[in-house]
Amino acid sequence: MNSLKDIVEESQRQKTKILAVAASEDKEVLKSVVTAAELNIIQPILIGDIFETKRIAVEIGLNIEGYEKVNTKDLKESAKIAVKLVSEGKADFVMKGLIDTSILLKEVLNKDYGLRTDSLLSHVMFYEIPTYHKLLVITDGGMNITPSINEKVSIIENAVQAFDNLGYKKINVACLAAKEKVNPKMSATIDAEEIKKMWEKKNIQNVIVEGPLALDLAVSKESAKIKGFNSSIAGETDVLLVPNIEMGNGIGKSLTYFANAKSAGVIMGAKAPIILVSRADDQQTKLNSIALGSVIA
Ligand code: COD
Residue bearing the CA closest to ligand 1, atom 29: 102
- Give residue 281's pLDDT: 85
The reply to whether ligand 1 has any atom less than 6 angstroms from the CB of 245 is: yes
Of ligand 1's listed atoms, the one at least distance from the Cα of 249 is 44
CATH architecture of 122-262: 3-Layer(aba) Sandwich (3.40)
- Give residue 151's pLDDT: 98
Q: What's the rounded Cα separation, in Å, for the pair 26 and 48?
A: 10
Residue bearing the CA closest to ligand 1, atom 21: 106
Output the CA 102–ligand 1 centroid distance in Å.
8
- Give residue 205's pLDDT: 84
Counting every residue, how long is the chain?
Answer: 297
The reply to whether ligand 1 has any atom less than 6 angstroms from the CB of 145 is: yes
**Domain residue spans in the chain?**
4-117+270-296, 122-262
Residue bearing the CA closest to ligand 1, atom 43: 142
Which of 107, 123, 143 has most ligand 1 atoms within 8 Å of its beta carbon, as the pocket-test mutant? 143
CATH architecture of 4-117+270-296: 3-Layer(aba) Sandwich (3.40)
Output the CA 143–ligand 1 centroid distance in Å.
7
One digit per residue, pLDDT tens: the chain, 297 residues?
889 999 999 999 999 999 999 999 999 999 999 999 999 999 999 999 999 999 999 999 999 999 999 999 999 999 999 999 999 999 999 999 999 999 999 999 999 999 999 999 999 999 999 999 999 999 999 999 999 999 999 999 999 999 999 999 999 999 999 999 999 999 999 999 999 999 999 888 899 999 999 999 999 999 999 999 999 899 999 999 999 999 999 999 999 999 999 999 999 999 999 999 888 888 889 999 999 999 999
Output the CA 53–ligand 1 centroid distance in Å.
29
The reply to whether ligand 1 has any atom less than 6 angstroms from the CB of 109 is: yes
Output the CA 145–ligand 1 centroid distance in Å.
8
